[in-house]
């Protein structure tokens, strides 16, 4: 189902951009016996309820027309929240200077979990000032999961 989530992102990214949004993430999961297509959108000054409604109408029409999803589904569109997932080059660049948490697929110097300020993103490489190891460079292809970490 992760493949379907990636297909959702590919299919909807351009229409989202044309409408002033960025797709931050997508999920296609089974919950309580129903399939749920959950799409997280973002934009420069944050996402409103009206933005979610507008995106939902656009995305629903496209998903139904393309018949991408094999089952009947519930569509949910929302903002990515405070601890948003970072997946795209644009999202890493946008959150440069923010504290992030990264889990890698392959260890780097026997470490898979990193927490610290995102220093830069260039050429597919994340540079993070990790609280344990100092400055570490991580290839985007080695990232299993990355999130913004908000301090409260």
pTM score, two decimals?
0.73
CB atoms within 10 A of CB 55: 24
Top-tier CATH class for 2-78: alpha beta
Which pLDDT value is given to residue 49?
92
Sign of CA dihedral 43, 96, 129, 120: positive
| Domain covering 89-148, topology | SH3 type barrels. (2.30.30)
pLDDT tens-digit readout, 30-43 = 999 999 999 999 88
Domain ranges of the chain: 2-78, 89-148
Helix axes 2-18, 49-66, angle to 10 degrees: 120
> What's the confidence (pLDDT) of residue 2?
61
Nearest 5 degrees, angle CA 50-CA 29-CA 60?
35
């Amino acid at each position: 189902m992760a493949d379907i989530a990636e297909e959702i992102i590919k299919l909807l990214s351009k229409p989202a951009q044309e409408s002033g949004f960025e797709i931050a993430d997508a999920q296609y999961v089974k919950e309580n016996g129903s399939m749920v297509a959950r799409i997280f959108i973002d934009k420069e000054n944050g996402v409103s309820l009206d933005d979610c409604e507008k995106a939902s109408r656009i995305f629903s029409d496209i998903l139904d027309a393309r018949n991408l999803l094999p089952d009947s589904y519930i569509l949910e569109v929302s903002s990515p929240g405070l601890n948003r997932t970072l997946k795209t080059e644009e999202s890493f660049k946008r959150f440069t200077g923010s504290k992030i948490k990264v889990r890698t697929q392959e260890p780097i110097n026997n470490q898979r979990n990193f927490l610290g300020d995102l220093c830069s993103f260039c050429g597919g490489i994340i540079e993070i000032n990790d609280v344990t190891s100092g400055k570490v460079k991580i290839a985007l292809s080695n990232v299993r999961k990355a999130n913004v970490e908000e301090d409260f």
